[in-house]
Amino acid sequence: MAQRTRDRVDLLQGTLDMLILRTLLFGPAHGHQIGKHIQRTTDDLLQVQHGSLYPALHRLEEKGLVVSKWETAPDRNREFKYYRLTPSGRKQLRTEESKWKRLTGAVARIMWPVEET
């Protein structure tokens, strides 16, 4: 487990925003659920700290990409702030996914160039 801790990757702000939007594509979620989804989906490689997650959620909300509402959790007698993707958020996610594909493709071409024949 110590190796995993050392291998964790710090996220760039824009990447975190994209991962949050992608997570909310599956439906409304509160902050803890969003963070856990990212962690589980990446086999614990990416762990989003509250100090990064909540400012990102507030930033996305200010931009109109997500909306939030306090609701009682179905299995608990406690309120959580649930975040939902807006139509603008869906559009922004498509834009960010496209940029991400171009970026990762460019890096891959540098890292693993195709040999000319």
Stretch 62-73: mean pLDDT: 94
Show the domains of the chain with their CATH numbers. Answer: 2-111 (1.10.10.10)
pLDDT of residue 74: 78
pLDDT of residue 75: 78
Residue 32 has pLDDT above 90, yes or no: yes
Q: Using CA atoms, how far apart are residues 104 and 92, in angstroms rounded to an integer?
A: 18
Cβ–Cβ under 8 Å, residues 15 and 51? no
Q: Using CA atoms, how far apart are residues 71 and 21, in angstroms rounded to an integer?
A: 20
Helices 87-111 and 13-24, axial angle in degrees (round to 10): 130
Which DSSP string corresponds to 48-91? --HHHHHHHHHHHHHTTSEEEEEEE-TTSSSEEEEEEE-HHHHH
Q: Using CA atoms, how far apart are residues 41 and 60, in angstroms rounded to an integer?
A: 21
